[in-house]
Amino acid sequence: MSPIAPHNALELMNIAASIARQAGDLVATGRSRGTGNVDIKSSPTDVVTQWDQASESLIVERLEHLRPNDSVLGEEGTQTPGTSGITWLVDPIDGTTNFLYNLSGYAISIAATDDAGTLAAAVYLPVTRELFVAARGNGAWLGARKLTCSPCHDLSMALIGTGFSYSSQRRDVQGERIAKILPQVRDIRRCGAAAADLCYVADGRLDAYFEEFLQPWDLAAGLLIATEAGAVSSDFSGSPIRSEQTLLSTPGIHQAILAILAP
């Protein structure tokens, strides 16, 4: 690949997809050799492995080669300034705890953003080798198949995804929300990687997903993929989505979920 002009969403999507696959193959190979060094971040349950760091290094190196004028912000500390108006948001392993325990639900998440939001996205699941991609205004795709969120209109038949904070105090509040919503839906799933869960909403494997206190690199790629597949996004009061409160759902149940989650 050679460097390209700044704002071609499909080209940016292809770059994100190629690099996400490379990083995913790296960490999958690494996991087969063990987790390597594991360090604690914000709490004993919030960890980083040497493969998170190796993945981010690979992604940043490739982006700096292909897009030298872009900014890059990565979960593991990368903060590269740029002049193009494009910022890449990188989660080198979303679902590090799953990775640590050799569970399949972890993902590589890469998004290209501009002043209007996410422009292009790729989420790669190394274990299943599924590559979800989207470009603003061009739909969301899994391989050659265009993604469409589920047609669910009945909350009682909805399968809902969620996630939990690393903070025990925040988990208390989240547990109360689960207690409110669980009796009213088919079931709850907690897969352990926000980027993957949002792609599952895009593909109709989940009917909705909600979580609190996500970081930009957790949210940016999966949000575009889900909304390009027809999902509706908001915070818990129905206002525009924000990292403190994230709700993505198929249109037919969005208002019903809001009625439960609203403060």
What average pLDDT does the chain have? 92
pLDDT at 46 over 70: no
Which one of the listed residues 49, 78, 87, 96 is annotated catalytic?
96
Catalytic, 130? Answer no
pLDDT at 45 over 90: no
pLDDT tens digit sequence for 153-197: 999 999 999 998 776 777 878 888 899 999 999 999 999 999 999
Catalytic, 227? Answer no
Which one of the listed residues 70, 75, 76, 211 is annotated catalytic?
75
- Listed range (30-34, 213-217, 222-226) with the worst mean pLDDT: 30-34
Single-letter amino acid, residue 61: E
pLDDT at 36: 66
At 263, is the secondary structure helix, strand, or coil?
coil
- Once rounded to an integer, what is the mean pLDDT over residues 74-80? 85
Catalytic, 218? Answer yes
* Cα–Cα separations (whole angstroms), residue 47 to 51, 113, 201, 212: 11, 26, 26, 19
pLDDT tier at 35, thresholds 50, 70, 90 = low
Catalytic, 70? Answer no
pLDDT at 7 over 90: no
pLDDT at 4 over 60: no
pLDDT at 2 over 60: no
pLDDT at 3: 42
Which one of the listed residues 70, 197, 207, 218 is annotated catalytic?
218
Cα dihedral: 233, 234, 239, 243 (round 10): -120
Catalytic, 94? Answer yes
Q: Which of 52, 24, 27 is nearest to 38 (CA)?
A: 52
Catalytic, 96? Answer yes
- Once rounded to an integer, what is the mean pLDDT over residues 27-46? 74
Helices (H), 4-150: 9-31, 50-66, 96-100
pLDDT at 1 over 50: no
Q: Which residues pair with 72 in a beta bridge?
A: 80, 88
Complete domains list, the chain, with CATH: 9-146 (3.30.540.10), 155-261 (3.40.190.80)
Cα angle, residue 208 at apex, residues 206 and 214 outer, rounded to 5°: 110
Dihedral over Cα of 31, 37, 43, 44: its sign: positive
Q: Which two tokens stand for residue 257?
A: 């979920």
Please give the model's pTM, rounded to 2 decimal places: 0.92
pLDDT at 220 over 90: yes
pLDDT tier at 49, thresholds 50, 70, 90 = confident
pLDDT tens digit sequence for 116-158: 999 999 999 999 999 999 999 999 999 999 999 999 999 999 9
